[in-house]
Amino acid sequence: MPKVLIGDTLSPAAVEIFHARGIETVTKTGLNTEQLIAEIPEYDGLVVRSACKPNADVMAAATNLKVIGRAGIGVDNIDIKAATAKGVVVMNTPFGNAITTAEHAIAMMFAAARQIPAANAETQEGKWPKSGYMGIEVSYKTLGLIGCGNIGSRVAERAIGLKMKVVAYDPFLTDERAVELGVEKVELEELLKRADVITLHVPLTDQTRNVLSRENLAKTKKGLIIVNCARGGLVDEEAVADMLESGHLAGAAFDVFAVEPAKENVLFGKKNFIATPHLGAATNEAQENVALQVAEQMSDYLLSGAVTNALNMPSITAEEAPRIKPFAGLAEKLGSFAGQISDFGYDEVVIEYEGEVADLNRKPLTAALLAGLLRASRGDVNMVSAPAILADSGVKLTETKTEASPVYDSLIRVKVKTKATKNATEGGWRTLAGTVIAGQPRIVEIKGMALEGDFSPVTLYVNNIDKPGFIGALGQMLGEAKVNIATFHLGRTEAGGEAIALIGIDSVPADALMDKLDKLPQVRYAKVLTF
């Protein structure tokens, strides 16, 4: 009988689902890392919310663990890389709390606009401060959304119902989807200038970290209200504290903080600062939905091998797995490659299946590719949520299949129409193709150039002009920086024309080295990719 450890508080109805499916459960909440390490070896599954933190040390001790289920969407508390290396499937419930989080953001906006917490406190102290609180009417004001995906779009719908003007910054939001939602798509600079209220609805990634920096906050209107129910680290908390003190900000309402649990914070005690302890998903409805969902998903996996809402492996049936799994791995890596080199977003995605792979169930392959593509910029995306997220963004998706492949038994090709690139501000198509050789994914085409290489965990991708001296200069540069080369693959259009170098390296190069590489006269584009 499979055995599951419930590491955070879970609905009794979810526990009953496990029992009804013949799975034993043990509930132990509040375990620290040492206690979790001691406890985890005997379990096949682990259920967590946000408090329980299965890190790399826990994974090392998890000798029997097969699956971790997150009752919710965010997986910041789970070391997914360590889980993957251990062969542990990580699942979440991507859509169970979207409405709840959107409603919390709206509630926080109203609370800040009318200074409700402070007014309530003084009223209950018997002060009756009727003249001390002059509120802000949100109707006909401009709401700026940073992120207009699953949650942001729901905030937009509710704000429009309040007669607010909504502007949205989201590199993946298409013009068509913006029109459908009734929002105006703008660049970040424009949003900062126009917004009366800013709400954030993006994951914490390298691209979004500190998106509301001190510099960006200085560009906003006096009297701005900021609401953050997304992730800590998106906003410069010290800058917000200073601007609340100076009066530049009329209010700020945060449900999340850079360090959690936030027992102390530079914002605490500031005038018209409102804090809640990460309650965005804390409604009875949302808690019940995600708990029931994770119990069903984990039971299916432990009993039949079915994988649903997995972040680190494709969703495929046990019957399909032997044939599909290698191609799903290839698709995910091709998507990740394309996403990492599409720095400014994209408008259209085309996926082409050629040869034997065209006859397989392509849905999980497409989902795996889209998950890899979106994860490069959006963080926590899995195979189930990826197609819906792409659809919500309005990005056009086209799939084609061809029964024959001219060179390989099977080939998957992805084409991404980018909004802009370093060398083409008007954008253009990025094309990649790969196949499976001896069970391993291989890349065989980049930008129309034939090139056979592997997906090294750390890969230096260089688009250059084929001129003498480039390889020597590159090798010398890496050698001087003590960056070891593991593999080296080249492709070109013609002698002296455009070329591609894929270099597998043993460590991530420093930013200074990349800046130096970028300045080589032969280099058009260079980036470190991770797989």
Residues belonging to the active site: 231, 260, 278
Q: 130 to each of 112, 127, 252, how far by Cα in Å?
A: 17, 9, 22
Q: Are 237 and 264 in contact (CB under 8 A)?
A: no
Question: Which CA distances in Å does 356 have to 44, 80, 339, 411?
Answer: 36, 32, 26, 8
Ordered strands of the 273-275 beta sheet: 184-185, 165-169, 142-146, 197-200, 224-228, 249-254, 273-275
Are 33 and 53 in contact by the 8 Å Cβ rule? The answer is yes
Which two structure tokens, joined as six digits, stand for 258? 């850079």
Residue showing tokens 């802009």 = 420
Q: How far apart, in whole angstroms, are the C-alpha atoms of residue 379 and residue 371?
A: 10
CA distance 47 to 61: 16
Three-state secondary-structure class, residue 54? coil
> In the Cβ-directed half-sphere of 357, how many Cα atoms lie within 13 Å?
30
Query: Which residues fall within 8 angstroms of residue 165, CB to CB, at 6 or more apart?
Result: 140, 141, 142, 143, 184
Q: What letters, b where the CB count within 10 A reaches 16 and e where it falls short, cover 74-104?
A: bbbbbbbebbeebebbbbbbbbbbbbbbbbb
Report whether 84 contacts 284 (CB < 8 A): no
CB 525 within 8 A of CB 422: yes
Note the helical H segments in 126-170: 152-161
d(CA 37, CA 76): 19
Phi/psi of residue 296, nearest 5 degrees = -65, -45
Q: Could you tell me the CA-to-CA distances from 316 to 34, 323, 364, 501 in Å, in that order?
A: 35, 10, 7, 34
Residue 235 φ then ψ, to 5°: -125, 140
Query: Rounded distance, CA 182 to CA 501, Å?
Result: 44
How far from the centroid of its chain's Cα atoms is residue 503's Cα? 26
